[in-house]
């Protein structure tokens, strides 16, 4: 039987364990380099289907800032990241927006939602948006 070797860098915690796995007929026969159980769980999930939290921004009108940071509220299949980005490309929000407000439910056919990750106040006058900006020093 052929043994397939795979290498993973765990992204669950700051340790970033380098984990080497040997597979035989799709089954793990050895795993080395994980310093905790989370690393082992990460590799097993990666082998089944890689999952990620997506963080990005969407445009927002009537606010101090032009872009609102958003993320998925749970991991989604890595293979769907570009599909989610495509769906978010058609979205433009209107301020105000509250942190954790659900922007899109069931994104890309998953059970995950896109949520705001900060409050975005409404600005009544365009000059209000510039009040708090720090001027650049010349020279």
Instruction: Please state the domain extents for the chain.
Output: 4-48, 55-130
| Distance from C-alpha of 87 to C-alpha of 83, rounded to nearest angstrom | 6
**Is the domain defined by 4-48 classed in CATH 2.20.25?**
yes
Q: May I ask the CATH class of domain 55-130?
A: alpha beta
Q: How far, in whole angstroms, is CA 38 from its chain's centroid?
A: 19
Does an H or E element contain 46, and which? helix 37-48
* Residue in the block written with tokens 């958003």: 70
The Cα 88–Cα 107 span in angstroms is: 9
pLDDT tens digit at each of 139 positions of the chain: 689 999 999 999 999 999 999 999 989 999 999 999 999 999 999 999 999 999 999 999 999 999 999 999 999 999 999 999 999 999 999 999 999 999 999 999 999 999 999 999 999 865 655 555 555 566 5
């Amino acid at each position: 039987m052929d043994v397939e070797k795979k290498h993973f860098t765990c992204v669950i915690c700051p340790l970033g364990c380098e984990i080497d796995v040997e597979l035989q007929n799709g089954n793990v026969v050895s795993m080395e380099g994980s310093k905790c159980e989370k690393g082992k769980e990460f590799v097993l999930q990666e082998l089944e289907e890689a999952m990620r939290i997506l963080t990005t921004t969407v445009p927002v009108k009537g606010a101090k800032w032009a872009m609102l940071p958003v993320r998925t509220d749970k991991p989604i299949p890595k293979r769907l990241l570009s599909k989610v980005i495509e769906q978010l490309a058609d979205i433009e929000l209107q301020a105000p927006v509250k942190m954790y407000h659900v922007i899109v439910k069931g994104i890309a056919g998953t059970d995950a939602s896109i949520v705001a990750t900060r409050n975005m106040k409404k600005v009544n006058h365009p000059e209000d948006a510039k009040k708090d900006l720090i001027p650049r020093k010349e020279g």
